[in-house]
Amino acid sequence: MKIGTPKEVHEGEARVAMTPESAQALQKLGHECAIEAGAGEKAGFSDADYKAAGVEVIKTAAALWKTCDIVAKVRVPTDTEVKRLREGQTLISFFNPAENEKHMKMAAEKGATVIAMEMVPRISRAQKMDALSSMANIAGYRAVIEAGNNFGRFFTGQVTAAGKVPPAKVLVVGAGVAGLAAIGTSTSLGAITYAFDVRPEVAEQIESMGAEFVFLDFADETQDGASTGGYAAPSSPEFQAKQLEKFREMAPDIDIVITTALIPNRPAPKLWTKDMVEMMKPGSVIIDLAAERGGNCDLTVKDEKIVTDNGVTIVGYTDFPSRMATQSSTLYSTNIRHMMTDLTPEKDGVVVHDMEDDVIRGATVTHGGEVTYPPPPPKVQAIAAAPKKEAPKELTPEEKKAQELAAFKKQTTQQVGLLAAGGFLVLLVGTVAPASFMQHFIVFLLSVFVGFQVIWNVSHSLHTPLMAVTNAISSIIILGALIQIGSSSYLITLLAGVGIFMAAINIFGGFLVTRRMLAMFQKS
C-alpha cells in the first residue's frame, strides 16, 4: 500500500510524521511512501533527503490525500482534511476522539479507518507505539531548557573568583513521563531538584534520578493516587488541601517550578495558586506543561509567556515538542513505523486490521463504517487487577526465636546427616582401596571442604558475586601451583607454571573488567 504524509496545516507546527529513515523502514514492510513537498523542511528534512530515501514527493496535499491508501500526520485533522478521506482509506494521527465526535462521525460515514495515536493502550507490548510518552518525554526535557533560558542564574552551584553562586532549586510537580524527563534534565544540569507526585510508588524512581521526593504528612492511608492506564487518579479534597499547604511552604525557596499534572480529557488541576506565585522570588520561573487544558497555575496564559508584577516569569507554551521538531519527528515517525509493523504482519505491503489485537483495537476510533470509540479495556488488565497477596503475618519475638531455633535444628540435622553419609562412603572405599590411595584421598576431601568454605565466604565488594568466586578459585589454584612448582619432575613444574599464568590472567582480567564497569558510572 501507499503511505503518504501531508504538510501540517496547524499554525506553528514544525513536526512531520515521516522521516527519510522511517520511510526506508516502511518500504521494507512492502509499502510505498510519499510526502507532500516541503512537509519536512521545518524539521530539518529536505525534499532531496526524501527522494534519496526512495520517497515520492507530491506537490499538493489534495493530490497526496487522493493517491495514498494510508495518510500519516501529527496534528488532529481539520474539517478540510477529514472531508478528503474516502472509503477504505486509513488515517493515522493524533485525533482527540473524546472531544472530536463530529470528525469521528464524518470519518465513519465515509467508510475510513482512523487510528488515534494518543489512544494506544499503555501496556508493555505497546510502548514502542506510545506517541504520547514520546512527545511528553521531549516536552519535559524542553521545559527545563526553556526554564534555563528564562532564568537569570546558573542551574549548578559554582565557586568563582567573584564569589559563590548557589545552585538553583527546582520543583517538578508530577512524575509521569514528562516529569521524569524534567527531573533527569534538571539534576544533570546541577540543580537541587525536588519532585512531587500523588503516587507514592514513584518515590524510588525520583530518588534514583538524584531528586528528592516531597512527602506529605497525610493520615488517610487510602489516598495513594494510583490508577490504571498509567495516569494518577484524582485526589480527595483533603489531600489537595494538604498538597497546597506543602507547596505554599516551599514556594518562597523555589527558583523554578515545572508543573506536569494532567489527566487526558479533564481540566488541569490547579496546583500553583496566585498567592504562591506572589511568594516566589523575583526572577523565578514557572513552566506549565498543562497549559493546553487550563494550566496547573492560576496565572498561566495558554501559548503565552507573561511576567507578573513581582517578576515571576510564567510560560504557558503548548508546542514544546514542536520546538524540537527534528527529535520529535524522529520519535513520532518511529511510533508510526512500529504501528505499521503490527498492521503488516507478513511484511508484504498488505494491511491486516486485526480488531482482536488489544493495541490495534484500542487505537482504532472508526473502522468498517462505524465509530469504535471508546474501546473495551485491554485483556491484559485482568492480570493487573488480580487480587494482591496478603502480607505475611508479623511474628512476636518469641515466635521469631522459635522459628530461628527450628531452622537451626533443621540445618544441623542436615549437616550431621551429610557428614555421616560421607564418613560411611569413605569407610566403604577404605575397605577395598590401598593405604597409599586413602592417604591422598582423605587429603583431597579435606582440601575440597576447606576450599569450599574459603571460596563461598569471599566478600564480593566492588565485584559481581560470580567474579568474586572465580577470583577465589583462581587464588586457590595459584597456592596449589606454588607448592608444586619446586617439584623435581619437569612436567609437574611446567603444569604448575601454566596454572599460575592462567589463574593470574583470570584475576587481573576480573579487576580490569570491574574498573571499566565502575568507570561507566563516573562523570568525566
In the chain, count of helices (H) and strands (E)? Answer: 17, 17
Catalytic residue chosen out of the listed positions 22, 133, 322, 329: 133
User: Residue 355: helix, strand or coil by DSSP?
Assistant: coil
Confirm whether 130 is a catalytic residue: yes
User: Residue 25: helix, strand or coil by DSSP?
Assistant: helix
Inter-CA distances, 3 with 43, 52, 236, 265, 419, Å? 19, 17, 47, 30, 74
Give the span between the Cα atoms of 4 and 29, in whole angstroms: 15
Tell the residue number behind the cell numbers 470528525, with chain if given.
Answer: 103
Give the span between the Cα atoms of 121 and 381, in whole angstroms: 11
> Nearest-5° angle of CA 264, CA 265, CA 269?
75
Confirm whether 332 is a catalytic residue: no
User: Residue 390: helix, strand or coil by DSSP?
Assistant: coil
Secondary-structure breakdown of the chain: helix, strand, coil percentages, each rounded to the nearest 5: 50, 10, 40
Contact 26, 33 (CB under 8 A): yes
Inter-CA distances, 59 with 7, 63, 169, 325, 512, Å? 10, 7, 50, 22, 59
Catalytic residue chosen out of the listed positions 69, 231, 323, 342: 231
Catalytic residue chosen out of the listed positions 122, 199, 248, 323: 122
Inter-CA distances, 91 with 108, 115, 257, 515, Å? 12, 6, 38, 52
Q: The dihedral of CA 264, 265, 271, 272: what is its sign?
A: positive
Q: How far apart are the first and last CA of the chain?
A: 49
Give the span between the Cα atoms of 37 and 415, in whole angstroms: 80
Catalytic residue chosen out of the listed positions 15, 93, 130, 134: 130
State the CB neighbour count (10 A cutoff) for residue 346: 9
Confirm whether 127 is a catalytic residue: yes
Residues identified as active-site: 122, 127, 130, 133, 231
